[in-house]
A = this chain, B = another copy of it.
Amino acid sequence: MTPSFPKCRLRIVLAPGVAFGPGKADLLQGLAETGSIRAAGSRLGMSYKRAWNLVGALNRDFAEPLVTTEKGGAGGGGGARLTPLGHELLERFRRIEAVMLEAGGADLSVLQGAVKSPLDGAGEEK
């Protein structure tokens, strides 16, 4: 996957100690698409343990679980499915990201255009 720029990372602190950001969003999306905690984590370069911990945090921090899990499952690494609330929160997070890119597009372009091009810094210490 070739990264495209600018890339906006949105992190929402919903309450003290409760944040929802790109890592959790990408993990939820991966779970929805693969049905497996191991597969979703590995796609993000995340250890199985870290993916499990994030799922635990998501289920602990919200009033209802965002993910249902079962031992074994697809890929033998713990099956997982998003609950309706999990689907809804992921969709809303993606919508905020999209709105930001669309409405902030002109400002983003100016910020990006102000970055020094690699040639400007040729021979210069970084």
A: number of interface residues (CB 8 Å): 44
| A74 within 8 Å of B (CB atoms) | no
| A61 within 8 Å of B (CB atoms) | yes
| A44 within 8 Å of B (CB atoms) | no
Main secondary structure of the interface of A (DSSP, over half): mixed
What's the least CB distance linking A59 to chain B, in Å?
Answer: 10
B-binding residues in A (CB < 8 A): 3, 5-16, 18, 20-21, 60-64, 85, 88-89, 92-93, 95-96, 99-100, 103-104, 107-108, 110-112, 114-117, 120-121, 126
Chain B residues in 8 Å Cβ range of A92: 107, 110-111
Q: Are A115 and B63 also in contact (CB < 8 A) when A95-B107, A99-B103, A110-B92 are?
A: yes
